[in-house]
Amino acid sequence: MSRMLVGQDPLAIERHLAAGLDQRYGAENALWDLAGKAAGLLQAWQRAQQLEAREEIQ
């Protein structure tokens, strides 16, 4: 997988998927988490923890 990404734009997710990265388990999620981190957003697992904590409080 590293050969597919080294030197490439990690935010070009659709291009990577079209090039075959979608065959790698978890690779798409990792790229979306990276894009979210670059945008200053929470990663998916952090958001899930927040939602679970909120449900426990209610």
Tell me what pLDDT residue 58 has.
65
Report the 10 Å Cβ neighbour count for 41: 12
The mean pLDDT value of the chain amounts to: 82
The DSSP output letter for 9 is: -
Count Cβ neighbours within 10 Å for each residue of 4-21 and write b for 16 or more, e otherwise. ebeeeeeeebeebeeeeb
Ordered by start, the domain boundaries in the chain are 2-57
The predicted pLDDT at position 1 comes to 64
Convert the pLDDT of each residue in 1-58 to its tens digit: 677 788 888 889 899 889 888 788 788 888 888 888 888 877 777 778 888 887 777 6
Question: How far is Cα of residue 11 from the mean position of the Cα atoms in its chain?
Answer: 10
